[in-house]
Chain A
Amino acid sequence: MVDIALEGVTKVFADGTEAVHTLDLDIPDGKLMVLVGPSGCGKTTVLRMVAGLEDLTDGTISIGGRVVNEVPPGDRDVAMVFQNYALYPHMTVYQNMALSLRIRKLKKEEMNRRVQEAARILHLEDLLQKRPRELSGGQRQRVAMGRAIVREPQAFLMDEPLSNLDAKLRVQTRAEILRIQKDLNVTTIYVTHDQTEAMTLGDLVAVMKRGVLQQVASPQQLFAHPANLFVGGFIGSPAMNIVEATLSGTGAGTFVEFGGHRLQVPDEVIVERPGLAAFRGRTVILGIRPDSMEDAALVPSPGPDSRLPVAVDLQESMGSDVYLHFSVDAPPVYTEDTRELAADVDEKVLEELQEQASERRTAFIARTSPETRARVGERCEIHVDTRKLYFFDPETGGSIYDGVETAPTGAAATVTA
């Protein structure tokens, strides 16, 4: 069990595309680090470089203090779980798990002990003599895990190991992976494009965009204090509502205005984010999480200037809560970041964003209590928990905290719409 350190790691492919840009990342001993980002952000390339399957263009990777740039994959003492499991089709489950041990010329008894042990942990005892094609997707996934476990490696590398499972199995297997990782206490790098997976699994989460690291933090930290617009929009489900707004300061306090709405920014937020002072009278990007909104009728004493009168377009009942969709007459934030975020969800979502940009209205989602009486087509008031507003610099896309640029270099985003 070791820590893994990446220093200035850069990967430029033969065709000239830069997949990873001077990445610095430390994975502490025994922790699970999730690399998350939209597809094509370079996270899998990072994992493959740690595994030794890709060469580095620049920088160093060290595992347990040993620089492994030139060490072949088999000698790095890391085990990898592949997205499509990559089980050897002609071998039984037992042989699949034992192959790496046979190559290492382990004693037969020791090999047997390790495979049986892994099979016990993963409930594969009855399947050891089966071949991969006779197994279900979930079983194959467990065999892939088993193949990694028997190695008793210094680190696990997992490349979207759950993406081929159906939703229900995914949640179950996710818990399983977490349990095994905690039990074995092995340093793990886990790659996914699913922010829910990242939030639930990671001790630390590293968000990447186009080969550039955006932020590394604990899941709570990422959620509460995103370094920039991209992280804010990427983390959280449903995604943060993002809109262009104007910050105005009067004697009575600070207000943020958008599409005819006006919210008062509480003093505590101003204190917490001294950087906001510089934006008085200017445009900012305002982020409101769906979770910090509620049907105003259900809030005992909604403060002044914390309500949005809106018309409900769509109502989704999730059982434990209700998603209210409405739109606000303010232009959406149409930047490289928001386009990337939209495209990551779906091609259609990107088109919708373009449409909204041209119509100068922004779609919002509020997550309210199931007791809400709001109905589609009717007007209602949405209360916003103004203590939980997010502010981003429209020039750089960085979060506005203490006036110092917090977004890493290269994460510049300019408003183009």
Chain B
Amino acid sequence: MDCREFCEQHVAYVDDTLAGIELVRMQRHIAECESCAKHDAKIRRSLLLFRNLPLIEPSADFSQRLEARIRECQGEHLLANTQRNLRYGAVAATLASAVMLGYIGTTLYHRTDPPRDLIMAPVVATIPEPELAPITTSTPAIVASVSAGLSIWPAALFAEQAPVRFAHSKLQLTDYTR
């Protein structure tokens, strides 16, 4: 290794980022070259001085000032949001108005016929005749109505026109055959 190569690699050498073989070559060169050894010592000593400079601390009111600025920032953010919402609202309202006016304008422009009265078709009110389902089987209830002297057809009509709840209620059939 020559002095030029040593200087090129010196940053990595000081920072301990050299690979093993390179590191050994640098160490050998320092052992052999007095000038490079002096250079290395000079750099390391000066860096030590800089690294040992005392740290400065933030002033006592640093946090308070920052908090105040953050609050301002939040206020500005809220205001900006409100203004943006208002602006969006205004834009939306303007657009809606424009669309509505356009629609009205287009409708009026294309309307050539004179206005006419609305004529509806006549409606005839009729009462639909109830459909009577034929009785196909003779149930015990019908048999019972026959024996009591009631006519069959009024009884069947009565059962058909009964209220819904009555129709949905569970009917218990009586067995008279016993």
A and B physically associate: no
Binding site for A on B (CB under 8 A): none
Binding site for B on A (CB under 8 A): none
